[in-house]
Chains A and B, each alone.
Chain A
Amino acid sequence: MRRFFCITVVAMMTMALMITGCAKKEAAKEPVKLGVAGPHSGDLASYGIPTVRAAELAVKEINATGGILGRPVELLVEDDVCKPEVATNTATKLVSDGAVVVLGHICSGATKAALGIYNDARIIVMSPSATNPDLTQSGDYPNFFRTIASDDMQAMLGVKFTVNKLGAKKVAVIHDKGDYGKGYAEFAKKYLDEMEGAEAVLFEGITPGAVDYSAIVQKIAKSGAEAVIYGGYHPEASKIVTQMRKKQMNTFFVSDDGVKDVTFIKVAGEFAEGVYASGPMDVSDLPMYKSAVEAHKAQYGEDPGAFFKEGYAATLALLNAIQKAGSTEYTAVEKVLRSEYVDTPVGSISFDAKGDAIGVGFSMYKVVNGEYVEQK
């Protein structure tokens, strides 16, 4: 019995020591640590990995020219699988590991859960993709910035375009029940209701991943809608558009940034023709954008995925702010972010008092001959 007891105690002590051992390490001249958080595994990984790659490429370039503040930049990449409860662990880990600024998180829910932790640790967070309006407008998250426009702006653009440019009066608003899609759709409905002469004839959520959407397509047809405004991502959008076109419905289809992805055109093929989707202003002529995409192609042999350029822009904005502030201290970095412009692949941007990016505009695109063409 005694022997067993001893073994247990020794085992417990070793375990405790092991855990302590890998806890804190202070180095004299440490690199600038940039945390990168987002879904890197699981079903939403395709929205998180491009940002990691963007950060890697941007940091590689910066380190090649001597880093910032004379120190190299090191990435701390942590997975949050887009779940709030995991995101809080991720955030605590990044804080414990000494990240000075954080790029992420990708999903709005995970971002909301994590922000409080960063705020207490005085760490600035910049997301390339979390578009929930509350994040900047509620005032609850002073340490939050983003390089993408919020849902309500997009929804406003979508509604105005649908009603004024396309002349559709009856609009069906459809969403994918997700955080992003439903948020967008709710704003779209709100703006439609406020607008003279326009009405939302249908407001419904579809189930992502369902095998077939013919019933909802039938319902859209019956509602007499002249246009569909869809909030959500491209996989469902392409299924709906395909079924609508197969049923020979020529209703306008207007959607958001989650759909304005090259994959949408490739998946929906001929049926994608004539679809409208809003997205960040066309930056394909910017040299910085071109070189970022080139670097990605050279490294990975394929086109970059969703939020790549926003992630790249956020990395540059954060590191530039640290460089100009001369330190990694919160208020100094914050001040630079809010006052100075920085050149990025999404244009020259700065941030307003709430944390939204200035200089990132949205425009409407139409699919013509398999390509997105900006609608002026």
Chain B
Amino acid sequence: MDYFFELFLGGLTRGSIYALIALGYTMVYGIIELINFAHGEIYMIGAFTALIVASLLTMAGFKGLAVLALSMVVAVIYAGAYGFTVEKIAYKPLRQASRLSPLISAIGMSIFLQNYVLLAQTSDFLPFPSLIPKFGFMAPYEPIFSSSELVIVSVTATVMVLLTCLIKFTRMGKAMRATAQDRKMAMLAGININRVISTTFVIGSCLAAVGGVLIASHIGQINFYIGFIAGIKAFTAAVLGGIGSVPGAVLGSLVLGWTESFVTGYISSDYEDVFAFLLLVLILIFRPEGILGKSRAQKV
């Protein structure tokens, strides 16, 4: 039973990590139905920016929470700016194009950003400092559930609640929902579509940066390639949960995290990814709209 519980907690952490990235995916997809392959790269750039800032601050003599807070803020701002720019360059000119064009453009952007960081920084793994402090009250549980895991899980939960509120209750959220439902109609109703889409990208990218900093600090190392794998997994999770739905993304991530954790624990880690993708295939075949997704009637 202990073993089961430990695997459960491990899966919870892993799922929360996926969720932080998956939320951005799901928001963007929900609004313009675009698989933003470059999202994982934004996450990576966020982590890199944070590493640079944190190192500079540490060298300048700052310590503890100040470093975490400052580097997080800078990383979030920069990731937002990158998300904004990427959207303007690679997706905005393609609004009217066929479905495939933005997808190719996104894959190209992802390759570009990876190599940009590779060339400007390094291809080596860099150590990432543990920015998240160890809480005193967590000390007895540390071997089972560490402080950084606690932070990741609670940040994910908070972000999910905030995001849901944003979409449900604010003017911007209303505009987002309208745009997602029918872009042309929303435009006629006086919504500035471009602004809504930009905002969505910026918010999604900021979330990716939050994820980037927390995850890098938890794992302890980064390189230019981390975004790709995390991105694919997070996207899988978002689809699993029902893409376009905020709670769905979190649920899908958790399901994915637990699947991987239990498969590793009880079967073999050799096939953890095989099972993850198999789960995705099965869910899509039997419930194509995902776990929490709403099935939309096809317009004729």
Are A and B interaction partners?
A: yes
**Chain A residues near B (Cβ < 8 Å):** 41, 43, 45-46, 49, 177, 204-207, 209-212, 214-216, 218-219, 222, 234-235, 238-239, 242, 246-248, 263, 266-269, 305
State which residues 135-154 of B face A: CB under 8 Å.
142-144, 146
Residue in B122, B215, B225 whose CB lies within 8 Å of A211: B215
Q: Is residue B127 contacting chain A, with contact meaning CB distance below 8 A?
A: yes
Residues of A within 8 A of B3 (CB): 218, 222
Chain B nearest CB from A278 CB (Å) reads 21
Chain A nearest CB from B43 CB (Å) reads 11
Q: How far is the CA of A271 from the CA of B138 in the complex (A)?
A: 20
Contact yes or no, A177 B142, CB < 8 A: no
Given A215-B7, A215-B269, A215-B272; 18 other pairs, CB 8 A cutoff = A41-B115, A43-B223, A43-B225, A49-B123, A205-B270, A206-B269, A209-B226, A210-B272, A211-B219, A214-B9, A215-B10, A218-B7, A239-B219, A246-B142, A246-B143, A263-B124, A267-B125, A305-B124
Q: Is residue B39 contacting chain A, with contact meaning CB distance below 8 A?
A: no
Closest to A222 in B: B3
Chain A nearest CB from B200 CB (Å) reads 25
State which residues 196-235 of B face A: CB under 8 Å.
215, 218-221, 223-226, 229-230, 233
Q: How far is the CA of A222 from the CA of B3 in the complex (A)?
A: 8
Contact yes or no, B223 A215, CB < 8 A: no
Contact yes or no, A216 B264, CB < 8 A: yes
- Provide 15 A-B residue pairs closer than 8 Å at the C-beta atoms, listed in order of the A residue: A45-B118, A45-B123, A49-B123, A207-B269, A212-B10, A215-B10, A222-B3, A238-B220, A238-B221, A246-B142, A246-B143, A263-B124, A267-B126, A267-B221, A305-B124
Binds A, one of B11-19, B29-37, B56-64: B11-19
Q: Is residue B260 contacting chain A, with contact meaning CB distance below 8 A?
A: yes
State which residues 223-252 of B face A: CB under 8 Å.
223-226, 229-230, 233
Residue in A212, A219, A268, A305 whose CB lies within 8 Å of B17: A212
Q: How far is the CA of A282 from the CA of B218 in the complex (A)?
A: 34
Q: Chain B interface mostly helix, strand, loop or mixed? A: helix
Residues of B within 8 A of A238 (CB): 220-221
Chain A nearest CB from B172 CB (Å) reads 31
State which residues 257-274 of B face A: CB under 8 Å.
260-262, 264-265, 268-270, 272-273
Contact yes or no, B10 A214, CB < 8 A: yes
Report which residue of B143, B219, B226, B233 has the largest number of chain A beta carbons within 10 angstroms of its beta carbon.
B219
Residues of A within 8 A of B265 (CB): 215, 218-219
Residues of B within 8 A of A269 (CB): 127, 220
**For the complex of A and B, 5 pairs with smallest distance between CB atoms:** A214-B10, A215-B264, A209-B229, A267-B127, A215-B261
Contact yes or no, B220 A46, CB < 8 A: no
Report which residue of B13, B125, B218 has the largest number of chain A beta carbons within 10 angstroms of its beta carbon.
B125
**Chain B residues near A (Cβ < 8 Å):** 3, 6-7, 9-11, 13-14, 17-18, 115, 118, 122-127, 142-144, 146, 215, 218-221, 223-226, 229-230, 233, 260-262, 264-265, 268-270, 272-273
Closest to B144 in A: A247
Closest to B148 in A: A246
Contact yes or no, B230 A235, CB < 8 A: no
Residues of A within 8 A of B11 (CB): 215
Q: How far is the CA of A212 from the CA of B142 in the complex (A)?
A: 16
Contact yes or no, A219 B269, CB < 8 A: yes
Contact yes or no, A246 B118, CB < 8 A: no
With contacts A215-B11, A215-B261 taken as known, whether A235 is within 8 angstroms of B269 at the C-beta atoms is no
Q: How far is the CA of A204 from the CA of B270 in the complex (A)?
A: 6
Q: How far is the CA of A268 from the CA of B130 in the complex (A)?
A: 11
Chain A nearest CB from B261 CB (Å) reads 4
Q: How far is the CA of A263 from the CA of B272 in the complex (A)?
A: 28
Residues of A within 8 A of B17 (CB): 211-212
Closest to B260 in A: A215
Q: How far is the CA of A268 from the CA of B220 in the complex (A)?
A: 8
Residue in A49, A177, A207, A235 whose CB lies within 8 Å of B125: A235
Contact yes or no, A239 B221, CB < 8 A: yes
Residues of A within 8 A of B218 (CB): 212
With contacts A204-B270, A214-B261, A248-B143 taken as known, whether A43 is within 8 angstroms of B123 at the C-beta atoms is yes
Q: How far is the CA of A51 from the CA of B141 in the complex (A)?
A: 46
Chain B nearest CB from A238 CB (Å) reads 6
Q: How far is the CA of A169 from the CA of B219 in the complex (A)?
A: 30
Q: How far is the CA of A305 from the CA of B7 in the complex (A)?
A: 37
Q: How far is the CA of A60 from the CA of B219 in the complex (A)?
A: 41
Q: How far is the CA of A163 from the CA of B256 in the complex (A)?
A: 38
Contact yes or no, B124 A207, CB < 8 A: no
Contact yes or no, B219 A209, CB < 8 A: no
Q: How far is the CA of A235 from the CA of B115 in the complex (A)?
A: 20
Chain B nearest CB from A287 CB (Å) reads 28
Q: How far is the CA of A261 from the CA of B159 in the complex (A)?
A: 39
Contact yes or no, B14 A211, CB < 8 A: yes
Q: How far is the CA of A204 from the CA of B18 in the complex (A)?
A: 23
Closest to B230 in A: A211
Q: How far is the CA of A215 from the CA of B215 in the complex (A)?
A: 17
Residues of A within 8 A of B126 (CB): 267
Residues of A within 8 A of B273 (CB): 207
Chain A nearest CB from B210 CB (Å) reads 15
Contact yes or no, A216 B219, CB < 8 A: no
Q: How far is the CA of A204 from the CA of B220 in the complex (A)?
A: 23
Closest to B223 in A: A235
Q: How far is the CA of A239 from the CA of B215 in the complex (A)?
A: 12
Contact yes or no, B225 A209, CB < 8 A: yes
Residues of A within 8 A of B9 (CB): 214
Chain A nearest CB from B70 CB (Å) reads 22
Residues of A within 8 A of B229 (CB): 209-210
Q: How far is the CA of A267 from the CA of B122 in the complex (A)?
A: 15
With contacts A45-B118, A207-B269, A263-B124 taken as known, whether A239 is within 8 angstroms of B10 at the C-beta atoms is no
Q: How far is the CA of A216 from the CA of B266 in the complex (A)?
A: 10
Residue in B13, B224, B268 whose CB lies within 8 Å of A204: B268
Residue in A209, A214, A246 whose CB lies within 8 Å of B14: A214
